């Protein structure tokens, strides 16, 4: 951990904090942007990518949402199961093999940015791409601080990681505007997702594990 701020930072301060630390690093750097659904992960990752690109760095964007399991695995514990949402949504093995290992500082650099198309529920095997030796890899997604993404010593695999702190009352309303889903976090129709994310927060404590917590509400 690199001098973690004692309090959550604003989005602007958080971006500046990250850019200053990323620029100090040599080789490839993998940065995780974690947060609940509707926390603004994709937007924040895009803003960080723009800042880094403007400062002359090469940026590679990856979303964990492009590494889903097939529907039969995602719903194996039941279509309403919060535990199933946490445990079975993502194909971590493929993500590790295709992204984390090759794009690590000592990796070969030969990676694939996605393995599944949610819209068509179709597995993907896109052509391999080759990353330069000096690049910043920004990964956005949920559950990025879970134990599955920690190394043999129990440390997170990310060089730097972010937890976007957003209350469910805010994030769920954002999703409602985007997707037409219910606005109330207590609505039974979204209990699988809200309760699953609460379970993740309870088990993984991502705000403690992240290098910086950014208030994005």
For the segment 143-155, the average pLDDT, to the nearest whole number, is: 87
What does pLDDT average to over the chain?
96
With a cut of 50, say whether residue 52 has pLDDT above it.
yes
| 162/156: higher pLDDT | 162
**pTM, entire model:** 0.95
Distance CA 107, CA 100 (A): 8
Top-tier CATH class for 11-215? alpha beta
Are 172 and 130 in contact, with CB atoms under 8 Å apart? no
Residue 2: per-residue pLDDT = 58
Indicate the pLDDT class of residue 153, thresholds 50, 70 and 90: confident
Indicate the pLDDT class of residue 1, thresholds 50, 70 and 90: very low
């Amino acid at each position: 951990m690199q001098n973690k701020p004692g309090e959550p930072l604003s989005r602007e301060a958080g971006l500046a904090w990250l850019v200053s630390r990323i620029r100090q690093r040599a080789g490839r750097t993998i940065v995780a942007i974690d947060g609940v659904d509707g926390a603004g992960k994709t937007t924040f990752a895009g803003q960080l990518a723009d800042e880094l690109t403007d400062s002359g760095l090469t940026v590679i964007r990856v979303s964990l949402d492009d590494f889903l399991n097939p529907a039969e695995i995602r719903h194996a514990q039941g279509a309403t199961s919060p535990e199933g949402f946490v445990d079975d949504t993502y194909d971590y093995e493929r993500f590790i093999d295709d992204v984390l290992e090759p794009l690590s500082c000592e990796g070969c650099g030969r990676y694939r940015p996605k393995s599944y198309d949610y819209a068509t529920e179709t597995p993907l095997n896109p052509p391999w791409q080759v990353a330069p030796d000096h690049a910043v890899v920004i990964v956005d997604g949920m559950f990025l601080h879970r134990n599955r993404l920690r190394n043999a010593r129990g440390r997170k695999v990310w060089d730097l990681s972010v937890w976007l702190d957003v209350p469910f009352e805010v994030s769920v309303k954002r999703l409602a505007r985007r997707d037409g889903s219910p606005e109330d976090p207590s609505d039974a129709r979204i209990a699988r997702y809200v309760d699953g994310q609460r379970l993740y927060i309870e088990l993984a404590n991502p705000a403690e594990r992240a290098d910086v917590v950014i208030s994005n509400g």
